[in-house]
Structure 1
């Protein structure tokens, strides 16, 4: 009965080994030239190596080694076999057709009834796919970290699972500070809810969303980003992740803002440039028409400015222009505008101001300039033409009327304000 039970048990063990997903190899313990011969290889081992059973039995397992097999690992294996101790390691082996694969295996001694080692049992697994996946992941990380662009990967709920070095450089936040959090932590408050609603509506439809985001970094500074967010889906078209790639545009945006400021304001005087001033004038005109509020403008010119340049040089003339412009800006209200209209001419916009109030402001400007002393030059004065926009009058007609009033101020003695009205009032000033 005992032999029958042992036979049944051995049969079950053999079936189990043959059906195992791991490769199993049994070798003799005998050393020497013909030692460590393979006496058993299961089906998984044969599939892994490509050898037939009749080709592998009786062979030494070194038949699987090749040029990239690690010599140090093999030396350690042989030492463990000689010592009769457990071995575990991995290296590159070769299939029958010469193709390499990465094997991870363990070897245990099998002892007989008297305790002597009779065989070695090896359990092996082809981990080439795992190694390839690890290498792909490492390469993926290297690629993502090689770019200066920021990369964020979140799950379908928006929880951050990965950020690259570019993200850390741009935002100032490290990986450990953002894992498990939501990218909304970067919101600056500069963009309204409609912006984000449009973004989510696009993403939930499975489409990529591209836009300029104004985020806030760890240092509390605004970061302008050109960003593309792409949803990733599985085989059932279910969104599993979102990938965001963004480029830091902050330097460029700030440079553009600075450039716009330079274009908007005259570099010498600080007044609006002619181009920016024409736009301001048009806006004031449209606002007056829409609100039915009054609007007045004035054209001011520095008296005898050519003589200043001729006598003291253009550098002194530039100082005078800058000082006069500063006087005008300081004398006016915050919502008024000073435009360098050309050369030494300044156009002033008095929004929401009727003619009587505009005359007070114009005179305040004229007096502020007259009260200033300029090195070498002494006192300079202004001639000013002033007018209020009439009902149904075109902006060009208003400018023409003010221009005529300005020339009257020049012709009738300078250092005065001439007003353009239906009646022709006397000049105001000295």
Structure 2
């Protein structure tokens, strides 16, 4: 390839280059280097025609917001013959401002002397504005008290705000590149998440109350809305999750629910809730023709405990008895404080003989207790198995009669109600 052809190709490439290119002389005395060439991209960027630029100093592009420190650093690099990189604000011919990114290099002749400076420039106004908007958005999202999480289309986390850190205990840097699955608590079934993804894939928001797990393993509750975000072509590109922490409210509601069905002194179910459980177990036993037994238990000589040692001691004994009953029964059994020192144990899937074995285990456990004041405690128990025709009240009445039979026979014993279930 001839030198002339090479020069033609180089000139064509520079003329058609997307980046703005400016060539100046190497003189550094005031007013500084003068422009000897500007390509069409530079003319479009600055608003000046090529003829208007030739012989003039690039200082004509400077204005009130041009960074003086950057210009001084530029001049120092030129004096030392070093490459310069920087950004600043320049002004077009019509006075409008624009942001420019510079790369200026010295051009040396055959003797190694600097003969020119080559400046390759690119307007970055739109990029800086976009970055400023992103920074403003990130600042706003970090200022909100609600947790904000953004994932890409595949569900990979690309942004989390400071409220997310406070809510979950996960530093943002630790979750970027991961998925929200790390928050799952196991409290929601597969159908919950399937419905979530069905909504999102249809381009619909999904809103629900989530129970998630923090970094330290503790659970927290939140009202969460997940919304698809679309790109310029209308395709779903990201998912935005905004969450409000409901932990305090949910825990208060749960505490109220516990108070509604729990006996405050013993921590067992109270009679109101116990009656509901009795009806539930009775319906199950009748529908599926399965055995159900009831054990009525009463602490022996409890009135004497209250009279001799006072009600504070009596309350302590009842709480101790509640703990003992909980330890003795199966997970499927229900222990209810029926009233005063009287307790009802519902034993589903148990015939009278099996329930009597459970009652005997309870009796032995209570007999083994030792209290600093009362010393030895005993309990009497009556067992009844549901017959095919009786109602709940009749079952409880038969268990109660068996209990009083145990009392009459000397206490600290188990009695089974008469009658064989039909």
TM-score bucket (shorter structure) = 0.7 to 0.9
Cα contact 2:214–2:220 (8 A) shared by 1: no
Q: Larger deviation: 359-368 or 279-288? A: 359-368
Q: Which runs of 5+ in 2 are unaligned?
A: none
- 1:72 aligned partner: 69
Question: 1-side partners of 2:232 and 2:85: how far apart?
Answer: 39
Question: Which residue of 148, 151, 154 maps to 1:153?
Answer: 151
* Aligned: 1:315 with 2:309: no
> Which residue of 293, 298, 303 maps to 1:296?
293
Aligned 8 A contact 1:153 1:242 in 2: yes
How many residues end up aligned between the 2 structures?
414
2:279 corresponds to 1:282:
yes
Q: Would you say the 8 A contact 2:230–2:238 is kept in 1?
A: yes
**Following TM superposition, by how much is the alpha carbon of 1:356 offset from its aligned partner in structure 2, in angstroms?**
5.7
Of 115, 132, 137, the residue aligned with 1:135 is 132
- TM-score normalized with structure 2 length: 0.72
Distance 1:330 1:72, change over 3 A: closer
Normalised by the length of structure 1, the TM-score is 0.71
Structure showing greater radius of gyration is 1
- Contact 1:383 1:414 (8 Å CA) reproduced: no
- Cα distance between partner residues in 2 of 1:236 and 1:383: 78
Give distance in 2, aligned partners of 1:177 and 1:79.
Answer: 44
Contact 1:224 1:253 in 2 (8 A): no
**C-alpha contact (below 8 Å) 1:223/1:249 kept by paired residues:** no
Inter-partner Cα distance in structure 2 for 1:172 and 1:45: 48
1:344 partnered with 2:341? yes
Offset of 1:82 from its aligned partner? 4.6
**Contact 2:221 2:250 survives alignment (8 Å):** no
Gap change, CA 1:279 and 1:98, over 3 Å in 2: farther
Matched ranges for 1:13-412 at <5 A: 19-27=16-24, 36-38=33-35, 41-51=38-48, 59-82=56-79, 86-108=83-105, 120-141=117-138, 149=147, 151-154=149-152, 156-159=153-156, 170=168, 172=170, 175=173, 179=177, 184=181, 192-211=189-208, 221=217, 226=222, 227-244=224-241, 265-329=262-326, 332=329, 335-355=332-352, 358=355, 362=359, 365=362, 369=366, 374-377=371-374, 382=379, 387-399=384-396, 402=399
- Quote the offset at 1:88 in angstroms: 3.7
Could you tell me how far 1:91 is from its partner in structure 2? 1.6
Provide the secondary structure at the position in 1 that maps to 2:64. coil
Report how far residue 128 of structure 1 moved. Answer: 1.7
- Provide Cα deviations, 1:70-117, integer angstroms capped at 9, x if missing partner: 222222333444556654432222334544322222445567899887
CA RMSD in angstroms, aligned pairs only: 4.9
What SS does the corresponding residue of 2:73 show, helix, strand or coil? helix
